[in-house]
Structure 1
Amino acid sequence: MLSEIEIYEYDEQWSKSFRLLKQVIELNLTDLVIKVEHVGSTAVKGLGAKPILDIDIVIKSYDVLPAVIQRLEKIGYFHQEVWSIEGREAFGRKDTLTPWDGNNTIWMEHHLYVCNQDSNELARHIAFRDYLRSNPEAVAEYDRIKRNIANRATDRADYTIGKTDFITKILERAIGE
């Protein structure tokens, strides 16, 4: 079976789309969140990626999670407990207009997570992103690895597993610095 995973060249539109999504999210959760972070490959200039944004909403504590879930539901997201892991709550979108901004905006595909500020998952996301942003050689290597894996992967799980060694190596460097 041929891979269904396509890696696109880096696109400046990814950052623009993130900033617009961030504005809508912050407007609706302003008093509940510390910050909204663009993480994952689309957050690294020059890195090829699947055109899907990864967004981490950072909260101070899990005490506010019920209110965050309620507010996200009001703008079209739903909590995906089955995809959530310790330190990272996953959210799905009801439709392409999510988050609902009153303007019927069709948003770029994205994955939305809510992380406690002390979450290990958040720390890993930020460390990996920041390491790549400051190491062009690592970006080039990761880009090559991702494209190679995408060409031979049979599904998304295979693709994800194929990237694990590189990600682990970078996190050891990034967190060890």
Structure 2
Amino acid sequence: MKLGLENNEVRLVEYTTEWQEEFARVKEQLLQATSLLPHQIEHVGSTAINGMAAKPILDMVVGVDSIESVDREFFKALQSAGFLRLRVERPNEIVLAKFADDTYAVKTHYIHLVDFDGEIWRNLLFFRDYLDSNEEARQQYLAIKLDYLESSSSGIQEYTEFKEAFVKEIFVKRDLV
């Protein structure tokens, strides 16, 4: 298994169970480096969905009591596990990445740091679980991804925006359950 994408690269690879194994390995590193508890670290994104082709970057959501109160010591602990804070600006979320090497050219892992059991946390877990249990939704999502890739192999922001309507449709279903 080879994880990693260069900046702004968009590429899909076939699903592998090695993603689950890598998540377990990195989760253990995070538990050793921080005061986080196991239930505060979840595997999300397409690499967490059984059978789903995905960008070869492992996404994790890490829930904290309050995103506003995350201190420098916590970031140092995450850094000791190989994660650096990115300059990504998102409401109620801090994004960190792990890189293939110290050139910082290829990202291999993301952490989405959010309020534990807050809206972003619940949406990410619901999306993963819904697609994991719904073959039709999984196929629709894959078709959207492949449709984007027919016209481009770059533009991560554009790729995300291309999928956004579908993702939001799934989030709305969370309130109906």
- Give the TM-score range, shorter chain: 0.7 to 0.9
Query: After superposition, where does 1:1-177 map in structure 2 within 5 Å?
Result: 4-29=9-34, 31-33=35-37, 34-62=39-67, 65-66=70-71, 67-80=73-86, 82-93=87-98, 95-96=99-100, 109-153=108-152, 155-177=155-177
Residue 105 of structure 1 corresponds to: none
Q: CA deviation at 1:22?
A: 0.4
Tell me whether 48-57 or 71-80 shows the greater mean CA deviation.
71-80
TM-score with structure 2 setting the length: 0.81
Q: CA deviation at 1:63?
A: 6.7
Tell me, yes or no, if the aligned pair for 1:38 and 1:56 is still in contact at 8 Å.
Answer: yes
Instruction: For 1:17 and 1:55, locate their aligned partners in 2 and report how far apart those are by CA, in whole Å.
Output: 11
TM-score with structure 1 setting the length: 0.81
- 1:95-132: per-residue Cα shift (whole Å, max 9, x none)? 4369xxxxxxxxx8111122111432212111111111
- Flag structure 1 segments of 5+ consecutive residues without an equivalent: 99-107
- Flag structure 2 segments of 5+ consecutive residues without an equivalent: 1-7
Tell me, yes or no, if the aligned pair for 1:22 and 1:36 is still in contact at 8 Å.
Answer: yes
Number of corresponding residues: 163
**CA-based RMSD:** 2.3
Amino acid at match of 1:17: E
Amino acid at match of 1:5: V
Q: CA deviation at 1:40?
A: 0.5
Tell me, yes or no, if the aligned pair for 2:30 and 2:36 is still in contact at 8 Å.
Answer: no
Amino acid at match of 1:162: F
User: What is the percent sequence identity of the aligned residues?
Assistant: 26
Amino acid at match of 2:175: I
Instruction: For 1:41 and 1:74, locate their aligned partners in 2 and report how far apart those are by CA, in whole Å.
Output: 26
The 3-state SS of whatever aligns with 1:174 is helix
Residue 3 of structure 2 corresponds to: none
Instruction: For 2:116 and 2:62, locate their aligned partners in 1 and report how far apart those are by CA, in whole Å.
Output: 9
Tell me, yes or no, if the aligned pair for 1:62 and 1:116 is still in contact at 8 Å.
Answer: yes
